[in-house]
A = this chain, B = another copy of it.
Amino acid sequence: MTNTHRFLTTTFACLILTQTSLLHADEGMWLINHPPKETLKKRYGFEPTAAWLEHIQKSAVRFNSGGSGSFVSPDGLVMTNHHVGLETLQKLSTKDKDYVKEGFLARSRDQEGKSVDLELNVLMDIVDVTEQVRAAIKPGMTSEQAFKARRAVVSQIEKESQTKTGLRSNVVTLYQGGQYHLYRYHRYTDVRLVYAPEQQIAFFGGDPDNFEYPRYDLDVCLFRVYENGVPVKSQHYLKWSKAGPSENELVFVAGHPGRTDRLNTVADLTYLRDTELPMVLARIYRKEVQLTAFSSRSIENARLAKDELFSYQNNRKRREWALQSLLDPHVWARKMEAEKALRHAVAQDKKLSSLAGAWDRIEQVQKIRAQSFKEYVLLEAGWAFDSLLFGIARTLVRAAEELPKPNEQRLEEYADSDKASLELKLFSKRPIHPALEEVKLVYSLTWLAEHMGANHPLVLKVLAGQSPKARAAELVRGTGLTEVELRRRLYAGGSKAIAASADPMILLAKLVDPDARAVRKLVDTQVKEVQRQCYDQIAQAKFAVEGTSSSPDATFTLRLAFGVAKGYEEDGRQIPFTVPYAGLYERAAAQKYVPPFNLPPRWVESKDRIDLTTPINFVSTCDTIGGNSGSPVINKDGELVGLIFDSNLHALVRNFLYTEERGRSVAVHSSAIIEAIRKVYDAPDLAAELTGAK
Chain A interface (Cβ < 8 Å from any Cβ of B): 2-5, 7-8, 11-12, 14-16, 206-208, 273-274, 278, 281-282, 284-286, 288-289, 292-293, 296-301, 316, 320, 323-330, 435, 438-439, 442, 446, 449-451, 453-454, 463, 465-470, 473, 591-592, 594, 596
A15: chain B residues at CB < 8 Å are 467, 469-470
* Docked complex Cα distance between A435 and B286 (Å): 24
Given A442-B11, A465-B329; A286-B282 close (CB under 8 Å): yes
Set B16, B207, B324, B591: member contacting A293, Cβ < 8 A: B207
Given A288-B289, A316-B289; A467-B328 close (CB under 8 Å): yes
Given A15-B470, A324-B467; A4-B435 close (CB under 8 Å): yes
* Docked complex Cα distance between A285 and B596 (Å): 22
* Docked complex Cα distance between A296 and B317 (Å): 14
Tell me the minimal C-beta distance from A588 to chain B in angstroms: 13
* Docked complex Cα distance between A284 and B285 (Å): 9
Set B300, B450, B469: member contacting A278, Cβ < 8 A: B450
Are A446 and B7 within 8 A (Cβ)?
no
Set B206, B296, B298, B328: member contacting A207, Cβ < 8 A: B296
A591: chain B residues at CB < 8 Å are 298-299
Are A438 and B473 within 8 A (Cβ)?
no
Report the 5 A-B pairs with minimum CB-CB distance, sorted nearest first: A328-B467, A285-B285, A278-B450, A12-B473, A208-B297
Across the interface, name the chain B residue whose C-beta is closest to A435: B4
Are B208 and A293 within 8 A (Cβ)?
yes
A467: chain B residues at CB < 8 Å are 15, 324-325, 327-330
* Docked complex Cα distance between A274 and B591 (Å): 44
A453: chain B residues at CB < 8 Å are 274
Are A296 and B208 within 8 A (Cβ)?
yes
Given A274-B453, A470-B16; A300-B596 close (CB under 8 Å): no
Given A8-B473, A329-B465; A323-B285 close (CB under 8 Å): no
A469: chain B residues at CB < 8 Å are 11-12, 14-15, 324
A327: chain B residues at CB < 8 Å are 446, 449, 454, 463, 467-468
A323: chain B residues at CB < 8 Å are 446, 450
A298: chain B residues at CB < 8 Å are 2-4, 591
* Docked complex Cα distance between A463 and B324 (Å): 12
* Docked complex Cα distance between A330 and B465 (Å): 9
Are A273 and B329 within 8 A (Cβ)?
no
Q: List 14 A-B contacts (CB under 8 A).
A: A12-B473, A14-B469, A15-B470, A274-B453, A282-B282, A285-B289, A288-B289, A289-B316, A292-B292, A298-B591, A320-B446, A324-B467, A327-B468, A330-B467
* Docked complex Cα distance between A323 and B274 (Å): 26
Tell me the minimal C-beta distance from A272 to chain B in angstroms: 11
Are A8 and B274 within 8 A (Cβ)?
no
Tell me the minimal C-beta distance from A364 to chain B in angstroms: 18
* Docked complex Cα distance between A207 and B206 (Å): 21
Tell me the minimal C-beta distance from A336 to chain B in angstroms: 12
A14: chain B residues at CB < 8 Å are 469
Give 19 new A-B contacts, CB below 8 A, not counting A206-B296, A327-B467, A327-B468.
A2-B298, A4-B297, A4-B300, A7-B435, A8-B435, A11-B438, A11-B473, A14-B469, A207-B296, A208-B296, A278-B451, A281-B286, A282-B286, A289-B289, A289-B316, A298-B591, A299-B591, A324-B446, A328-B467
